[in-house]
Structure formats: structure tokens, C-alpha cells
Chains A and B, each alone.
Chain A
Amino acid sequence: MPATLPADKRLKILDAAIRKQQNRPDALIAVLHKAQELFGFLDTPVLWHVARALRLPPSRVYGTATFYHLFSLKPRGEHSCVVCMGTACFVKGAQKLVDAVGDLGGITAGQTTPDGKVSLLVARCLGACGIAPAVVLDGTTVGTITPDQLTARVKEWTHGS
């Protein structure tokens, strides 16, 4: 059995969210969203906790968490740079954006810099095709961005704060 979670405030909020869903098994995806929002990622103790609360086999919780792209079982960096790789962004040079940030941090898409500052991610399509190429920097969408502008923004994270 994996270790149980230490009692902290985030766990109480998660439990309240589960109660609000009346511990229904079909609320699994909503509960996982909430857990990831609270903890940043889904580690094994969190998944076990969710399984117990919804009375589901852990295999099903794990199977669902690994199936969907938005759930992460690894911790993410302090800042996130999500480059949209939809078709409109692709034809407008999104790959150059990924390469530019990747070169800067010495990482590839899906990875986090060794200092844990920046995660570089790709999204399938943000639906912001009218302003392609688009990126999401710490939750804020920015459109029609060039590789130079993007690396400047990422440098602010690594050199600032």
C-alpha cells in the first residue's frame, strides 16, 4: 500500500469537491481535474486517495489519469510555456517556437528545465487559430508571437525573480 497523504488544506478541499459529487464514480475526471489543480500533478498517493473516495479500483483511476493528455503524473515547472501545435499554428511556424524555447532551456517538448523553472509543453489546438501562432504563458494566451519575442518572455522567468 502506498503512503497516505499528510493531512493538509488541499486534501480537505479535494474531499469537499468529492463530497459535492456525492462520491459518484462517474465524477472521476472532474475529481482528477480538481486534484491536479490543487496539487499541480497527480502522484500515486493522490490517485490512491481518489480511488478510495470514489470506491474505484486503483487500476481504473490510473488508467484514466494516464489516458488523457491534460493529466500529468510528474511535477511541472514553476512556469509553463504551452505552444499550440494546431494546423494553423503549424503552418505559421509553431515548430520554430518550440525549438527556440527548447534550445534556450536545453529541453524538448514535454520536459521541464533541470532547475524546475520552466516546463515546455505542446497543445493540440487551443482554438485561437485566428491569431496563430499562439502560446499560453502561465495561463495567459498570447497570439501572433515570434520566436524572438517568446524567448525574451521565457528569459524573464529564468533571469528575473
Chain B
Amino acid sequence: MDHDELLRIADAERAKAKPNEIRCCTSSGCRASGSADVLKQLKASVAANGLNDTLTAVGVGCPGLCSAGPVVMSHPDGGMFGKVTAEQAKGIVAALSGGATDAQRIDPNQPFFRKQFRVVRATAGQIDPERIESYIAVGGYEGLYQALQKRPDEIVTDVTASGLRGRGGAGYPTGLKWATVEKMPPGQKYVICNGDEGDPGAFMDRSVMEDAPHQVLEGMAIAAYAVGANQGFIYVRAEYPLAIERLQAAITQATKAGLLGANIFQTPFEFKVEIRIGAGAFVCGEETALIASVQGLRGTPRPRPPYPAESGLWDRPTLINNVETFATIPAISRNGAAWFAAIGTDRSKGTKIFSLTGKVKNAGLVEVPMGTTLRAVVEELGGGTADGKAVKAVQTGGPSGGCIPASLLDTPIDYESLGKIGSIMGSGGMIVMDDTDRMPEVARFFMEFCADESCGKCVPCRVGTVQLHGLLTKLVERKATRHDLDTLVELCQLVRDTSLCGLGQSAPNPVLSTIRYFAAEYEALLQPEEFARPPRASVIPLSVV
């Protein structure tokens, strides 16, 4: 493969395109609502009406509005239909030539679509994720070609200048991470893509892997070239079978096309990618635990330093980034660092994808520039709550994050602002709650999750989360006293300060943030002291531990 050949593939694919296209979402969400049948019927209708010369029906990635799935779009006129059934397929095809259809139309100009700014998801809903040609036709692998024309350290400088920060949650500067691995002495180095999206309520990484698997591979290849690695791994959770299938197909296609493997773009650069499938463990999202799991071990974290950048997979320097981080790289390589740095806020550059769910009218994926307010996302793009009730809180960052009350909805979304109000950006889950949601119950839900998912290696997390869950249960069951509430807060601080890895350190966040903003709900559950004897020592039976 050389650059001319890449351009030839793109030209051939564009020349092949018919004047009209009917696009049907084939991502997990719409699939669960029967989009595979819809696509089959669309194809059959196109053929039956003799429209094969002017119209094609194709499966595409997620256009974002999952709550209206299965979604069908017509191109280039921009028509959009939601909740499409297989029976309605015929009508939709007929509607293109002026016929009638009873399919429910979606307004493509509503704020949900209009107010997004898509960088990572730029091609979702437009290309067929299962064909490499479809990706190449929209400029795919051009970023890799351009990167290979530069020196590795120039790319690292570019990424640093772009201001990109890790999209997995912590927001560590990506350029700094790359520079650390790049500066390690030459020898075996690895690149790992963290696709173990375990945060309940978050699905943007699943979507990126399903909708743009080649974009993830391209980002990894650029990273590998920049840091001097020749082997990559994608760690995907087993709960995402479609993502695994599409990534595997993408790896095969890219290898066959000469975009992975040896002598990529006729340079000495060599890069292979393998998929590693997880087996259900939230803690494996933590980078050292993930590395253990890739090596076939129990996914338990280890203390850092040494950081994986110095000593990671099989004790070699290893670059670990999240799916969304890698998927951002091709656009930076194509458009330049300055272009990317111009998007977003001063300290949080670029865009971020959020999975907006819960009690919200428009549930789905939104990509907005950093610095957009929570209110804009929830009320304008999300359309408020589904049944018109008041928004009570927005939970961000999953079990590691916090609940933000409605009074703080004008907070801009960036790493620092969210941190200041006791929550985090996290991987981008955003769950809207209304008046019917009880915050102590939500806190207990997250603590149950953390207690269950604790790997058990360090005592504060293993024992602390169980005790915290016990105290929250006591509260929810109206058996707790003020003394218990004080113990709860004290223990939260202890677990946060003494746990080994991010799981334990952040597990108290949902509890502390709900106590901070919804104290009255906790107070209302408390019982007078005399009903709860004896206190402390036997508050929680030992058998629970």
C-alpha cells in the first residue's frame, strides 16, 4: 500500500456511490430493537422497486439518538425516521419518490443534532463500519500516512500541542504520556487500547468501537509509530460482542490492505494488533489491572510507580490509552494540533462524547465541545425529562463520580469545573434523575457495585466498601442514627485516602457528593439514638465482613 493506492481506493469507493442512500443504524442499541430486519427489508424493497441503479440501502454506525431506534436516514436529502419496523421499510423507500409512509419522522434540525460538534464521531451514521473502503473514502488512514511522513518525536510534540487529555476519566495529558514512553530506550514496547468500558451508564467507547473500528486502529498505529512500539492490544469487555466482531474484521481488512503489519505505507514501520477479551471485572479498567488481565492473570492492580509507561506489559514500556483518546488522534494528525486546540476551553481541549441516559427525553450519544454547560446538554440536546418532570440531579462519572444537583447545571463541563463540585468527567456517562429518584438509594446502588467489583487486594477497599454498603443499607431501611451517618462520612474519607487504586479511591464519591447536596434526604431517614443500641462496635455484624 502506498499513498496513491489509498487515494485510488477512496476515488473508486466514491465513484461507486449511488446518488441516493438509505442508511440504517446497525449498532447494538438499534439492533436490539430489530434494525437487522429493517435493513433486510429496505434492501429487498430497493431491489423490488428496480431502484438498484440510483439507490442503495446500507448499514451504518450509530447516529446517536438511541431512544428513537431503529433509526433510518435518507441521504442526501437528510430525511430521518425513528422506531422503524420492518413493515415500514417499503413505505420509506416509496416516500423517497413522493409516496406515503406511516413511519415516524425525526427532525434532523432539532438541537440534539444541530448543537453537537463531532470530531470523534464525525463519520458515525454515514459510513459502513464493516467495510474499510467506506472508511478510506471519508479520509480514513490519511492521518496515519501523514504521521509517517514525520519523525516520531514531532508527532509527540503535535499531540502535546493539541492539549488532548485522556478520555478514560482522569484527564492525564496524552502528549506527556506518549513522551514518557517515547523517551524510554529503544526495544520492545507495547500499545494497549483500553476498551473495558465498565462504568454502568456509559457506552460511548462501545459505540466508537462498533461504528469506527478503523479509526481506533489508525489512532493506535499513529501512537505506536510515535512511541516506537510494534505490537498493540485492544482489551475489550466480553459484554460487547458486536464491537469485538467489528474490530476483528477491521484488523483483518487493514492487515490485508497493508495498513497494519510490516512496511506500512512502504516505510520500515511495522505494527500488529491483537484483541484480548475481558471476562467481567470493573477493576480491569485500571491500567495496571488491565495489564495483568492481558497477561492472563487475575485483574488486580499494583502500586504505581513504576508506571506502565516505564514498566508495563511483560515489564516493557507500555502506552495505555482509552478508545476515545485513540479515536481522536487521526483527526489531530489530519487537521493539525492548532485546529484541535482551538476547540474547547483553556485547559480542556477538544470535544467529549457523553452517553446521555436515564430520565431524559432524547437518550443517546452526544459529542460537544468541552466547556458546554450541563444545562445545555441535559435541557437543550436532551430535551429535559421524558415526562416533563423537573430534573433533580445529573450523575456523571459512574461509580467513581458524583451527583450534581439541578442548581449547579450551569457548570461548564471540563475536568477542573466538575472536580470542583465533587464529581468527575469520568468516561462520559451522564444519567439524568428526577424527583422520584432517592439519592441515598442511588448511593447504595453504587456502593453495592463497588463492593462487588473490588478485587480484594487491599483492605481499605475490600472491607471498607462492604462496611459502607452496610451503613447505607441501614440508612435506607430507616434503622440508622446520626452516629451512623457520621461513621459513614468518616469511613468514606478513610477508604478514599488509603485504597490502592482508583476503584477504592473513588468509590466514596457518589456517597460524599449526595450527602453534600442532598443532606436533607439523609437526615429524613435518621432514627433517634435510643432506638439503636448498642452503637458502633456491633453496628454491622462481623459475618458481613
Q: Does B398 contact A64, Cβ atoms closer than 8 Å?
A: no
Q: Mark B49-82, 1 if CB is under 8 A from A, else 0.
A: 0000000000000000011010000000000000
CA–CA, A130 to B280, complex, Å? Answer: 21
Q: Does A127 contact B279, Cβ atoms closer than 8 Å?
A: no
Q: Does B279 contact A125, Cβ atoms closer than 8 Å?
A: no
Q: Does A130 contact B395, Cβ atoms closer than 8 Å?
A: no
Contact residues of B between 349 and 364, Cβ < 8 Å to A: 355, 357-359, 363-364
Q: Is B286 an interface residue (CB 8 A)?
A: no
CA–CA, A25 to B314, complex, Å? Answer: 13
Identity of the chain B residue whose Cβ is nearest the Cβ of A95 in the assembled complex: B445
Q: Is A155 an interface residue (CB 8 A)?
A: no
Q: Mark B133-144, 1 if CB is under 8 A from A, else 0.
A: 000000000000
User: Which of A28, A86, A130, A142 is B67 in contact with, Cβ under 8 Å?
Assistant: A130
Write out the residue numbers on chain A whose beta carbons fall within 8 Å of the beta carbon of B294: 26
Size of interface on A: residues with Cβ below 8 Å to B: 39
Q: Does B355 contact A68, Cβ atoms closer than 8 Å?
A: no
Q: Does A130 contact B357, Cβ atoms closer than 8 Å?
A: yes
CA–CA, A147 to B365, complex, Å? Answer: 27
A29 and B202 contact, Cβ closer than 8 Å, known pairs A87-B398, A123-B239, A131-B66: no
Q: Mark A120-137, 1 if CB is under 8 A from B, else 0.
A: 000111111111101000
User: Which of A90, A123, A125, A131 is B202 in contact with, Cβ under 8 Å?
Assistant: A125
Q: Does B296 contact A87, Cβ atoms closer than 8 Å?
A: no
Tell me, rounded to whole Å, the shortest Cβ–Cβ distance linking A130 to chain B.
Answer: 2
Contact residues of B between 415 and 466, Cβ < 8 Å to A: 429, 431, 433, 437, 442, 445-446, 449, 453, 455
Q: Mark A134-145, 1 if CB is under 8 A from B, else 0.
A: 100000111100
Q: Is A46 an interface residue (CB 8 A)?
A: no
Q: Is B31 an interface residue (CB 8 A)?
A: yes
Count A/B pairs, Cβ under 8 Å: 138
CA–CA, A70 to B299, complex, Å? Answer: 13
Q: Does A25 contact B296, Cβ atoms closer than 8 Å?
A: yes
Write out the residue numbers on chain A whose beta carbons fall within 8 Å of the beta carbon of B33: 131, 143
Write out the residue numbers on chain B whose beta carbons fall within 8 Å of the beta carbon of A117: none
Q: Mark B503-524, 1 if CB is under 8 A from A, else 0.
A: 0000000000000000000000
Identity of the chain B residue whose Cβ is nearest the Cβ of A64 in the assembled complex: B298
Q: Is B178 an interface residue (CB 8 A)?
A: no
User: Which of B29, B197, B453 is A128 in contact with, Cβ under 8 Å?
Assistant: B29
Identity of the chain B residue whose Cβ is nearest the Cβ of A56 in the assembled complex: B296
Tell me, rounded to whole Å, the shortest Cβ–Cβ distance linking A139 to chain B.
Answer: 9
Write out the residue numbers on chain B whose beta carbons fall within 8 Å of the beta carbon of A33: 238, 277, 279
Identity of the chain A residue whose Cβ is nearest the Cβ of B243 in the assembled complex: A127
CA–CA, A129 to B365, complex, Å? Answer: 10
Q: Does B67 contact A69, Cβ atoms closer than 8 Å?
A: no
Write out the residue numbers on chain A whose beta carbons fall within 8 Å of the beta carbon of B32: 128, 131, 134, 140-143
Write out the residue numbers on chain A whose beta carbons fall within 8 Å of the beta carbon of B69: 130-131, 143
Q: Range of interface residues on chain B?
A: 35 or more
Q: Which of B278, B365, B433, B453 has the most CB of A within 10 A?
A: B278
Write out the residue numbers on chain A whose beta carbons fall within 8 Å of the beta carbon of B201: 86-88, 125, 129
Contact residues of B between 16 and 49, Cβ < 8 Å to A: 28-29, 31-33
Identity of the chain A residue whose Cβ is nearest the Cβ of B206 in the assembled complex: A127
A124 and B282 contact, Cβ closer than 8 Å, known pairs A88-B358, A134-B32: yes
User: Which of A60, A92, A125 is B239 in contact with, Cβ under 8 Å?
Assistant: A125
Q: Is B203 an interface residue (CB 8 A)?
A: yes
Q: Is B153 an interface residue (CB 8 A)?
A: no
Contact residues of A between 10 and 54, Cβ < 8 Å to B: 24-30, 32-33
Identity of the chain B residue whose Cβ is nearest the Cβ of A24 in the assembled complex: B296
Q: Which of A64, A71, A88, A92 has the most CB of B within 10 A?
A: A88
Give A residues with C-beta under 8 Å from B: 24-30, 32-33, 60, 63-64, 67-71, 85-88, 90-92, 123-132, 134, 140-143
Please give 8 more A-B residue pairs, beta carbons under 8 A apart, in addition to A88-B200, A91-B433: A26-B294, A26-B296, A63-B298, A87-B201, A90-B442, A125-B201, A131-B33, A131-B67
Give B residues with C-beta under 8 Å from A: 28-29, 31-33, 66-67, 69, 197-203, 206, 238-240, 276-282, 293-299, 355, 357-359, 363-365, 395, 398, 429, 431, 433, 437, 442, 445-446, 449, 453, 455
- 30 A/B residue pairs, CB under 8 Å, sorted by A: A24-B296, A25-B296, A29-B276, A30-B277, A32-B279, A33-B238, A67-B281, A67-B299, A68-B280, A69-B280, A69-B281, A87-B357, A87-B358, A87-B446, A91-B431, A91-B433, A125-B198, A125-B201, A125-B203, A125-B239, A127-B203, A127-B240, A129-B357, A130-B203, A132-B363, A140-B32, A141-B31, A141-B32, A142-B32, A143-B69
5 shortest interchain CB distances as A-B pairs: A130-B66, A69-B280, A68-B279, A86-B200, A87-B201
